[in-house]
Amino acid sequence: MIATGTRAPGFALPDQDGDVVSLAGLSGRTVVLVFYPGDFSPVCTEQLSLYEERLSELRARGVELYGVSVDSAYCHAAFRRHLDVSIPLLADFHPKGEVARAFGVYSDEYGVAGRALVAIGPDGVVCWTHRSPSPLEIPGPELVIDALGGSDGHC
């Protein structure tokens, strides 16, 4: 997994609407990339639902969440509608898992991103990471809140 203090690898991925989201376009903000294995799985569904419940608190602290999986933008759109969530979902679809690989969270064994969180500060440097020891273990939103501390959400 990418080390804290490392400049985050640049990326440009389509979101659920097909709009491209790039790290360069997020410059100056605190961003948490929520890597997860796949849309519509029970654990991923629960994870994103938990984050949605605390999303306003995270945003009030200046933290923006982006889900990232190897599913397509079309699948992400259906998943967001199904869950009724507003968290943008980025499609690391083609080349499959390229961004997850760059952040060191891709599982060659399963062909998906591992369950991991990567916080990137406004300067583009990775300031905090967490990788679940098991794909069945959900890193709750309180981990992000505790890690980024303070009211400004900066790490």
Dihedral-angle region of residue 97 (phi above 0 means left; psi in -120 to 50 means alpha; beta otherwise): left
Query: Rounded distance, CA 30 to CA 58, Å?
Result: 10
In sequence order, what are the beta bridge partners of 145?
none
Residues carrying an active site annotation = 44
User: Is the CA virtual torsion 129, 69, 59, 23 positive or negative?
Assistant: positive
Please list, in sequence order, all residues whose beta carbon lies within 8 angstroms of the beta carbon of residue 123, skipping any fewer than 6 positions away.
none
Sign of CA dihedral 109, 45, 13, 124: negative
Write the Ramachandran bin of 21: left for phi over 0, alpha for psi from -120 to 50, otherwise beta. beta
